[in-house]
Amino acid sequence: MTRQTFGQQLRRHRDKRRISLQTVAAETKVSAGFYKALENGECDRWPGGIYSRGFVRAYATAIGLDPEETVTRFAECYPEFAPAPVPDPAADPEPPPQTMLEKLKAVVLEFARSRRETSA
């Protein structure tokens, strides 16, 4: 699906429900210009991240579409607005110390940590 096709589908659905852009803007507190750009497939100047997805979610709700499905399709058409994957902290453990000083420091810290645990 292209950006233009996605926007056209949204506009057709809104028109079918006889809802004006001004009504959507008033209900969502988002500029009608943003929604006009969405319907024209021209969201390149939109704010990024959560704001854009929030605008689309609000628009979809205002015109009677499933907001999560609409946001998913939006992210497919505009991958730059898709959420970045959250790194798995367990998958990227801290690298082992490299220098002799770092190795010695790690041993001393581990020794001190183990002494605190046994004395507690």
Higher-scoring residue by pLDDT: 6, 103: 6
Contact 56, 14 (CB under 8 A): no
Q: In this predicted model, what pLDDT tens digit does every residue of 55-113 receive, in sequence order?
A: 999 999 999 999 999 999 998 988 887 665 566 666 556 666 578 888 888 888 888 88
pLDDT on residue 19: 96
Q: Is 96 left (phi over 0), alpha (psi -120 to 50) or beta?
A: beta
Annotated domain spans of the chain: 3-81, 93-119
Q: In this predicted model, what pLDDT tens digit does every residue of 27-50 receive, in sequence order?
A: 999 999 999 999 999 888 888 778
pLDDT on residue 81: 76
Degrees to nearest 5, angle at CA 113 with 108 and 116: 125
Provide the 3-class DSSP secondary structure of residue 78: coil
pLDDT on residue 23: 95
And the tokens for 56?
């689309």
Q: Superfamily assignment of 3-81 in CATH?
A: lambda repressor-like DNA-binding domains (1.10.260.40)
